[in-house]
Chain A
Amino acid sequence: MERHRKKTSFLSGLAASLTLFAGALTTSASADEQFFPLQSYRVGPYAAGGTGFFGGTIDYFNLINSRDGGVNGIKLTWDECETQYEVERGVECYERLKSHANIAAWNPLSVGIAYAMIDRITQDKVPLITINHGRTDSTDGRVFPYVFPLLLNPYSETSGIINYIAAKEGGEANLKGKKIVVLYHGSPYGKETIPIYELLSKKLGFTVQQIEVPHPGNEQQAQWLTIRQAKPDYVVLRGWGVMNPVALKTAQKTGFPADHIIGNVWSNSEEDVIPAGDAAVGYTAITTQASGAEYPVLQEIVKTLYDSGKGNLEDKKRIGSVYHNLGIVNGILNVEAVRIAQEKFGKRTLTGDEVRWGFEHLHLDEKRVADLGAKGLFHSINVTWDNHEGDGRVTFQQWDGKKWKVVSDWIAPDWKLLRPIIEKSSEAYAKEKGLKIRSAGDADKVTSIDVKGESTKN
């Protein structure tokens, strides 16, 4: 009988939880707000990145709310939903949060989750922001009206890295005869830039050898011995998660100098170098936003939020870290898109499609960036209806064992060279999915009524 009782209580517990579950389904919304569903991840293998990035975005939203009372009086609101960086959880979060009223934009910071959302958000007409990552071909706004790989797509990143190496060598002409090894993560993400490195090597006359590290990358002896044999001038690290510190450690072990390793945009955080200890000193990585807390906007966040205990990061030492600053820049871009759209459509709560229009007119020149207190934090952005990346500039930072130091100017990738490749890929996608390629006129047609809930029609 003892066991019997246990089971009944289990069942009644289940029943009780189902009741609660049903109760939790209802969500509330107020009129003068703009809602940001945040599919964050504070647990699991990429938790360190997630806490920093979402912490930064939330900090900036909080700053706007408490300093300015929102964007022109419209409060920013948000809900977090934990994904653990897993696609199905991300999709569940999407389905859970999408019925919320007044959604401005989605920011999942996960390639996999972003992919799974493209069809869905296109139907809902709500923008999907994949800052610094995502599908390269979604840069083409003609085919992907609602997807925004802001600041930097993987192709531009590749071009930026090669331009930096060229500058270091004293000009593009000096790349001739140089040897570059690209060490990439064994995943679609890692492989995405293979053709671009090949293209640039042919164009500029350097040789390139691309070596794969199988996921998760906790063992790289073979790869680095091959590198030692190849004796390259530079190694580009296109890593992810634990692969990065292991690469730096193994480089030290095989005697390759850290200051000739250039990291990509997912190998550029404190979390990537701290575990490698001394082996990371001198390592250089690309970034779209400088690290450090000396920028006015960060100072205001510290003053307004952290000094009164309202900051989102638990560890104050992480203020101004790479992911935190990326989160803040992401916050700025989201808020400014809303602001720009408000100027066109009125200072009220906007629909997702109106915010999309805002992103497609997101033009922040250096002066505007300075006005926002972000001079030096990031350079500028100029998103248009057909260029959803917005010509972000990149800079390079070197790890000195304690912090990142900026070691280059703002460098422009070779967008003109990349655009035809992107268009080829996006046009293939349009063909496969039977999509109509959008024109500038289409982009100006904006739906001002909420279309969610009618999505069943497909």
Chain B
Amino acid sequence: MTNFDPAFFVEVLVGGLLSGVMYALVAIGFVLVYKTSGVFNFAQGAMLLFAALTFVSLVEKGVPFALAFLVTLAVMALLGIAIERTVLRPLVNKPPITLFMATLGLAYVLEGSAQLLWGTQVHGLELGIDDKPFIIHGVLISSFDLFAAAVAAGMVALLAFVFQRTRIGLAFRAVADDQFAALAVGLRLPVIWSAVWIAAGFVALIAGLLWGARLGVQFSLSLVVLKALPVLVLGGFDSIPGAIVGGLLIGATEKLAEVYLGGYVGGGIESWCAYVFALGVLLIRPQGLFGQRLVERA
């Protein structure tokens, strides 16, 4: 890069921030589950694939868009309950690493069943947003990305509302703060966990549709989790604002690094530079930007 072009810089920055929103969308699903049940749910990517594949297959069979959405949502809710019953409940109080491994097994089950049910074909998914770029002061902005950002904002607002203003949200927070205290005051953990997994299913569906529209609905959709992981490291595993800010930071950093630094080492550094950046931040703040400081217990 010989001469610095400020408009181009802004363009990369904006593009990065908008990509970051897409990462945050996936990261939020992780945060929800981790915050309330302490499970690092690696199956989030598989859930995303499952949701998107179910939705797109229904649409291709002629089911109207809205109905397909509702049906998929119902399927994801059932899935959430089933996961709580068959995986989480028997593994309660097991070490986090065991739970993490169980979700890897779960990812296998979900990927296998999604493909067994709906086939391995690659599908296109059009959400009806015309992705023609528009240009403000020489800076190119994607209309689809803006739409995705709006959806993400809406979803976060909805989650915030549920968390802050409803009884179930209060229960979520109680469980997140202290499981034993929550049990002691009579909250029923299985119900709350089911509810959380349903919420994670909902997030997976939204993220699946937006990512599906970008990549096509296919197996590789489950790989988007790799983009969410550095976001989690940076933002903290248990903070939704952290996921969003982390997403924006990671998105912007990785795009700027790829464009401005990539040239010196030959490019393609996106795959790891996000982790290195997150790691750098962690060395200063070991609990992530917004994560709770862990109390050390034996």
Which chain A residues have a beta carbon within 8 Å of chain B's beta carbons?
A: 42-45, 47-48, 51, 186, 211-216, 218-219, 221-223, 225-226, 228-229, 241-242, 245-246, 249, 252-255, 271, 274-279, 314-315
Contact = CB atoms under 8 A, between A and B. Distances in A.
A48 B115 CA distance: 11
B120 interface: yes
A254 B133 contact: yes
Contacts of A43: 115, 120
B84 interface: no
Contacts of A228: 140
Given A186-B268, A225-B12, A241-B220, A275 B124 contact: yes
Given A223-B258, A249-B214, A242 B220 contact: yes
A214 B219 contact: no
Given A214-B271, A219-B270, A222-B16, A275 B258 contact: no
B122 interface: yes
B215 A277 contact: no
A212 B12 contact: no
A222 B131 contact: no
A275 B227 contact: no
A242 to B, nearest CB: 4
Contacts of B19: 219, 221
B144 interface: yes
B124 A225 contact: no
Interface in B123-172: 123-126, 131-133, 140, 142, 144-145
A275 B217 contact: yes
A275 B126 CA distance: 9
Contacts of A275: 122-125, 215-218
A229 B131 contact: no
B215 to A, nearest CB: 5
Interface of B: 5, 8, 11-12, 15-16, 18-19, 115, 119-126, 131-133, 140, 142, 144-145, 211, 214-220, 223-224, 227, 254-255, 258-259, 262, 266-271
Question: Could you say which of A44, A51, A221, A228 has the most chain B C-beta atoms within 10 Å of its C-beta?
Answer: A221
A44 B12 contact: no
Given A186-B271, A249-B131, A254-B133, A222 B258 contact: yes
B131 A253 contact: yes
A277 to B, nearest CB: 5
B31 to A, nearest CB: 20
Contacts of A246: 214-215
B270 to A, nearest CB: 5
Given A222-B258, A225-B11, A249-B131, A47 B216 contact: no
A47 B258 contact: no
Given A43-B115, A45-B220, A51 B215 contact: no
B237 to A, nearest CB: 22
A216 B218 CA distance: 13
A399 B218 CA distance: 20
Contacts of B267: 211-212
20 contacts: A45-B220, A212-B267, A212-B268, A218-B224, A218-B227, A219-B227, A221-B18, A222-B16, A222-B255, A225-B259, A242-B216, A242-B220, A242-B223, A245-B215, A253-B144, A254-B142, A271-B122, A275-B218, A276-B216, A315-B121
B134 to A, nearest CB: 10
Closest 5 pairs between A and B when the two form their complex, measured CB to CB: A275-B216, A212-B268, A47-B120, A242-B220, A222-B258
A212 B218 CA distance: 23
B140 A276 contact: no
B262 A222 contact: yes
Contact of A254 (B140, B217, B224, B268): B140
A48 B121 contact: yes
Contacts of A51: 120
Contacts of B227: 218-219
A50 to B, nearest CB: 8
Contact of A48 (B218, B268, B271): B218
Question: Could you say which of B123, B217, B219, B224 has the most chain A C-beta atoms within 10 Å of its C-beta?
Answer: B219
Nearest to A273: B124
B45 to A, nearest CB: 11
A216 B223 contact: yes
A283 B174 CA distance: 54
Contacts of B18: 221
B133 A279 contact: no
Nearest to B15: A221
Contacts of B131: 249, 252-253, 279
